[in-house]
């Protein structure tokens, strides 16, 4: 049963943050926000190790955080493959 290892579902973190900006937040700004959020996720996925991610998931309320590690591994592999070579200007 999914509820045995996941906390209560929430709307998208990114979409909730955009909504919190208020009704006057421009759609162009929302698109930029989404892109920026993905850049942040990509950078973190490339930097963090599995133990850190599992501990963070547990602190965020996701039980059995190990269940999420296969997704993290896939994200981290893609993020690391996109990294510029060491010593190159980004």
In a domain, 5, yes or no: no
The encoded tokens of residue 31 equal: 């698109």
In a domain, 35, yes or no: yes
Give one DSSP letter per residue of 9-69, joined into a string.
Answer: P---HHHHHHHHT-TT--HHHHHHHHHHHHHHHHHHHHH--HHHHHHHHHHTT-SSGGGGH
pLDDT, tens digit, 9 for 90 and up, residues 55-86: 999 899 888 778 899 999 999 999 999 999 88
Would the pTM count as exceeding 0.75?
yes
How many domains is the chain built from? 1
In a domain, 7, yes or no: no
pLDDT, tens digit, 9 for 90 and up, residues 23-42: 999 999 999 999 999 999 99
Residue ranges making up the domain that contains 56: 12-81
């Amino acid at each position: 049963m999914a509820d045995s290892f996941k906390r209560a579902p929430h709307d998208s973190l990114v979409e909730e943050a955009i909504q919190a900006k208020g009704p006057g937040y421009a759609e162009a700004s929302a698109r930029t926000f989404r892109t920026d959020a993905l850049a942040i996720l990509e950078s973190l996925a490339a930097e963090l190790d599995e133990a850190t991610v599992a501990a963070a998931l547990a602190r965020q309320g996701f039980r059995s955080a190990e269940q999420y590690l296969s997704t993290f591994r896939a994200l981290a592999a893609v993020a690391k493959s996109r990294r510029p070579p060491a010593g190159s200007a980004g």
